[in-house]
């Protein structure tokens, strides 16, 4: 028997607030990972520019284009550093929130009851740095919290999965879900 639905007036001032000072920042190694990735990109661009300049005998245009790209990468590095300092998450009893954005500040909250799936992803750089990205999916928007330590990411994933009463990648049996199956014997 389901509980009867009521719709009593609520006092807005009494509602729990999503307080800005209770957000948790991401691991500082996340900035390092981002900068290493960009630095690698800059080295590749510089190397290609050097090869082209050597082959063509004209150093001016490869230097201008390569320099432009490297300058762009530097600007991106600054933005990434500022962005990383803004990225923060907050877990409450009933929802998970992510704050991010430098020019445009965004705070997104997904209630646990609307979460469809939660997983932890680790790219090459993240594995090297011991970091992970928590990916939370709903039927509407998805939220990805990067720059978490592996331990934190796994803890948060388990907490979210438990509170949302959903499966994670770890405990989903093979073949379950909406996918093509091999023919039955």
Partner 1 sequence: MIDLTQPQRQSPLAIVFLGLRALRSLGVVQLAVLALFLVRGATDGRFLAIVVLVVGLFTVTSVLSWWRYTFQLVDGELVVTRGVVRVDRLTVAVGRIQSVAIEQELLHRMTDLVKVVIDTAGSAQAEFTIDAVARPVADELQRQTTVDAGPAATLDPASGAGRTAERIVFQHTPGRLAVAALTTSPWAGLALLAPLLALDEVILEPIADQVTAIAPDADAASLGWWLVPSAAVAVAMFVSLLNLGRVFLADWDLALRTDTNTVRRTSGLLSRTSTTSTIARIQVLTSRRNPLQRRVGLHDLHLSNAGQGDIRLIGCGDGEFAATAALAGLTAVDHLALDRRVQPAEIWLRVRNMLVVAAVGAAAAWWFVGWWAALAFAPVPVVWWATWRHVRTFRWSLGSEIATSKHVIASSTQQALVHKANAVRVTRSIFERRRGLARIEAATAAGTITIGMLPIAEAEAVRDVLLHGVETDRRAWM
Contact positions vs partner 1 (CB under 8 A): 2-3, 5, 7, 10, 12, 15-18, 94-95, 101, 103-114, 138-141, 143, 178, 180-184
Between 55 and 180, name the residue whose CB sits nearer to partner 1. Answer: 180
Q: Which is nearer to partner 1, 57 or 183 (CB)?
A: 183
Length of the chain: 185
Q: How far is the CB of 98 from partner 1 (least distance, A)?
A: 10
Nearer to partner 1, 57 or 104 (CB): 104
**From the CB of 52, what's the least distance to partner 1, in Å?**
31
Closer to partner 1 by Cβ: residue 78 or 151: 78
| Distances, alpha carbon 5 to alpha carbons 8, 9, 93, 113, 154, in Å | 10, 13, 22, 17, 36
Residues 6+ apart with CB under 8 A from 57: none
Instruction: Compute the distance between CA of residue 12 and CA of residue 154 in angstroms, rounded to an integer.
Output: 35
CB of 45 to partner 1, least distance (A): 29
Give the closest residue to 120 by CA, choosing from 147, 83, 80.
147
Minimum CB separation of residue 126 from partner 1 in Å reads 25
Q: Do the Cβ atoms of 110 and 144 come closer than 8 Å?
A: no
**Residue 124 or 184: which CB sits closer to partner 1?**
184
Helices marked H in 20-86 — which ranges? Answer: 29-56, 60-86
CB of 136 to partner 1, least distance (A): 10
Inter-residue contact 107 to 115 (CB < 8 Å): no
């Amino acid at each position: 028997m389901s509980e009867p639905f009521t719709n009593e007036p609520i006092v807005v001032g009494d509602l729990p607030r999503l307080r800005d000072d209770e957000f948790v920042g991401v691991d500082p190694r996340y900035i390092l990972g981002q900068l290493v990735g960009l630095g690698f990109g800059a080295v590749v661009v510089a190397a290609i520019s050097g090869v082209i300049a050597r082959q063509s005998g004209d150093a001016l245009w490869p230097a201008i284009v390569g320099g432009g790209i490297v300058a762009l990468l530097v600007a991106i590095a600054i933005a990434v550093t500022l962005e990383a300092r803004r990225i923060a998450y907050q877990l409450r009893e009933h929802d998970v929130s992510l704050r991010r954005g430098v020019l445009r500040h965004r705070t997104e909250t997904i209630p646990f009851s609307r979460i469809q799936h939660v997983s932890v992803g680790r790219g090459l750089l993240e594995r090297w740095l011991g970091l992970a990205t928590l990916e939370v999916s709903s039927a509407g928007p998805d939220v990805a919290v990067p720059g978490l330590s592996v331990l934190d990411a796994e803890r948060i994933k388990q907490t979210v999965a438990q509170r949302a009463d959903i499966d994670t990648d770890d405990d989903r049996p093979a073949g379950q879900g909406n996918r093509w199956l091999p023919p039955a014997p």
